[in-house]
Amino acid sequence: MANVAIMGFGTVGSGVAEVLRMNGESIARKLGEPLRLQYILDVRDLSATEYAGVAVKDFSVLESDPNLDVVVESIGGAKVALDFTRRALLAGKHVVTSNKELVAAHGKELLAIAREKNVNYLFEASVGGGIPVLRPLFQCLAGNQIEEVVGILNGTTNYILTRMVKGGVPFGEALQEAQAKGYAEQNPAADVEGLDAGRKICILSDLAWGKEVRPEAISIRGISDLDLEDVAVADRAGYRVKLLGRALRLPGGRQAAYVSPHLVPADCPVAPVDDVFNAIMVRGNAVGDVMFYGRGAGDLPTASAVVGDVLDALQHRDQRRDLGWSESADLADLETEVSMPWYLRGGFEAPADCRTLSGGAVIAPAMTGREARALAGRLGAKALLPVLE
Ligand code: HSE
């Protein structure tokens, strides 16, 4: 018998309990022993629920129980969750999480503690919800030099964009729908302003190149200043507007990472990815392009990835998974060292080297952000967005 505890009984925590209940038999078969939900730690009163018998409010009960094997941290945030994760690892428990804020900000330290205590700290659910992407990236693609990772990393904003564009639903209403479906963060500004996608592209970058990229060190632009006119103009010209996180390895080994709405050509595999779905494209120097696709948020999809990690942690009890990242990445200056084509709109005369779109917009050839901003200033452009090549 293996024992698991859930810390934080919100969307993800309750999804994990549901998956353990729904799939208990097949999980036990795969594990070779039953997996028992031993504790649920939450500040809320669960006495009127079916989980009354396992509900606890005191973390030290988990910390001091020698029979507890794995702790699922689904508290969220980087305060209490950080303290409890540290203490659980130091107490020799494996910890599994969906908490991208914590992994992006403190993953290096927590992985070092896990290494020291010979336990697993796993976080597949922190990027892409139910999509298996982190394990394929550090395991199946380990033979490659990763060149680029780019994708739709936030289900809430993709859902909002889809509802606005295809359903004609106003922004506020689409956000409320995403909240009701359990996709949005407690403070949905983290979704809308791109911070959530920023944390996820940092985790992908950390694992792709083994060096820490901190969320506060990268450029992040969300969808709050996106003009629907640009979405319409882009659509007529054969592009979709998607919020993308992107991480690149530049010639010479320096790295760049950022989040921004992009124009994506309609024939690019991420263009038709709608609603809560996420898609992450990885380019390796041996494999070429690979794409991972699935539900990027929601209780059961996220719980699917969490429970997969719980099994993996238990199957690697003695020989822990060796993953992690070390010193800070050498980040290139995004504004001056990374070139890409740009979309500009504003009813100006199109420069000769630009492609004209209907609706008073153009696509300018690849140039740096600084050059694009200078061009937009000279032309008096009302909108400027990068274009994914
Ligand atoms: N708020 C996140 C999203 C949840 O919408 O993608 C999953 O990380």
* Per-residue model confidence as pLDDT tens digits over 175-203: 999 999 999 999 999 999 999 999 999 99
* C-alpha dist (Å) from residue 389 to 162, 342, 352, 371, 374: 22, 10, 20, 18, 21
Beta bridge partner(s), residue 256 = 248
Higher-confidence residue of 347 and 63: namely 63
- Residue listed under structure tokens 């003695």: 318
Report the pLDDT averaged over residues 105-122.
96
Give me the pLDDT at residue 350, please.
87
Give me the pLDDT at residue 323, please.
85
Query: 127 C-alpha to center of ligand 1: Å?
Result: 8
Residue 256's nearest CA partner among 368, 131, 140 is 368
Where are the extended beta strands (E) located within the chain?
Answer: 2-7, 35-41, 55-56, 70-73, 94-97, 121-122, 146-152, 211-212, 219-220, 239-249, 255-265, 277-284, 288-295, 326-328, 339-345, 355-357, 361-368, 383-386
The dihedral region occupied by 106, where left means phi > 0, alpha psi between -120 and 50, and beta the remainder, is: alpha
CA distance 178 to 221: 20
CA distance 117 to 320: 10
Give me the pLDDT at residue 99, please.
98
Tell me if residue 200 is catalytic: yes
Report the pLDDT averaged over residues 18-45.
98
Structure tokens at 102: 């914590």
Tell me the best of 156, 160, 276 to mutate to test the pocket of ligand 1, counting ligand atoms within 8 Å of each CB and taking the most. 156
Give me the pLDDT at residue 318, please.
84
Report the pLDDT averaged over residues 139-166.
97
> Which residues sit with their C-beta closer than 6 Å to ligand 1?
129, 154-156, 183-185, 191, 196, 296-297
Query: 61 C-alpha to center of ligand 1: Å?
Result: 30
Give me the pLDDT at residue 319, please.
83
Beta bridge partner(s), residue 128 = none
Structure tokens at 192: 């809308």
CA distance 338 to 367: 8
Give yes or no for a contact between 113 and 89, defined as CB atoms under 8 angstroms apart: yes
Higher-confidence residue of 319 and 57: namely 57
Which is the catalytic residue, given 200, 211, 242, 382?
200
- Residue 324 pLDDT grade (very low, low, confident, very high; cuts 50, 70, 90): confident
pLDDT tens column, 35-85 = 999 999 999 999 999 999 999 999 999 999 999 999 999 999 999 999 999
Structure tokens at 35: 């997996």
Mean pLDDT, the chain, integer: 96
**Cβ count near 265 (within 10 Å):** 15
Atom number, ligand 1, closest to the C-alpha of residue 302: 7
Residue 203's nearest CA partner among 289, 79, 100, 337 is 100
Residue 313's nearest CA partner among 97, 161, 107 is 97
- Residue listed under structure tokens 């031993």: 38
Residue 11 pLDDT > 90, yes or no? yes
Q: Which helix (H) or strand (E) holds 80?
A: helix 80-90
Tell me the best of 131, 134, 176, 183 to mutate to test the pocket of ligand 1, counting ligand atoms within 8 Å of each CB and taking the most. 183
Residue 183's nearest CA partner among 7, 15, 5, 6 is 15
The model's pTM is 0.97
Strand, helix or coil for residue 375 = helix
Give me the pLDDT at residue 245, please.
98
Residue 275 pLDDT > 90, yes or no? yes
Residue 175's nearest CA partner among 184, 166, 165 is 184
Give me the pLDDT at residue 107, please.
97
Give me the pLDDT at residue 34, please.
97
- Residue 278 pLDDT grade (very low, low, confident, very high; cuts 50, 70, 90): very high
Where are the extended beta strands (E) located within 228-338?
Answer: 239-249, 255-265, 277-284, 288-295, 326-328
Report the pLDDT averaged over residues 264-288.
98
Give me the pLDDT at residue 347, please.
83
Burial of 35 (0-12, 13-18, 19+ CB in 10 A): buried
Give me the pLDDT at residue 154, please.
98
Give me the pLDDT at residue 1, please.
96
Give me the pLDDT at residue 18, please.
98
CA distance 26 to 255: 42
